[in-house]
Amino acid sequence: MTIDEIIDGFEFIDDWEERIRFLIELGRDLEPLPDEDHNAANKVQGCASQVWLKTEVGSGEDPVLTFRGDSDAHLVKGLVAVTIALYSGRTARQILATDAGETFDRIQLREHLTPQRSNGLRSMVERIKREAAGALGAEATPAAAS
């Protein structure tokens, strides 16, 4: 599902409990991450639940990054799905220029998450931006991950 389809889905649903169910469904629809990718290198630090992000970096001056992810918690897996939809398949420069906070605010995500889950979401975004910056080389620095 694209990020625009996810935003449309959230905007269509008024009730926050229904939005939570939608978020969980997004997580269920994620492509499974193979067991061997559930490792320390892919684990996202700063998340209360276990979260793994696998990154594939294309070649070129502004490489495209592709992300796959998983979590051991249903709701968090949905957050992983939203984050992947927002960033996967974009160039490193596009990733660095994308303000996740703007999207999360638009779908009222952050205002309904516990501080612990918000911190985990921020950790995922920061990891993705670090990887995009790394793909561009040392001169690139990630913008603040909101």
Q: Where are the domains of the chain?
A: 3-136
Q: What is the pTM of this model?
A: 0.91
Provide the pLDDT for residue 62.
95
Provide the pLDDT for residue 139.
47
Provide the pLDDT for residue 46.
86
Q: Looking at the annotation, which residues are catalytic?
A: 47
Q: Domain 3-136 adopts which CATH fold?
A: Sufe protein. Chain: A (3.90.1010)
Provide the pLDDT for residue 144.
43
Q: What is the DSSP string of 70-105?
A: EESSHHHHHHHHHHHHHHTTEEHHHHHH--HHHHHH
Q: Which residue positions in the chain have pLDDT lower than 70?
A: 138-146
Beta-carbon-side half-sphere exposure of residue 86 (alpha carbons within 13 Å): 24
Provide the pLDDT for residue 4.
96
Of 37, 50, 68, the residue nearest 131 (C-alpha): 68
Q: What residues pair up with 90 in beta bridges, in sequence order?
A: 65
Q: Which residue has the tokens 């995922």?
A: 124
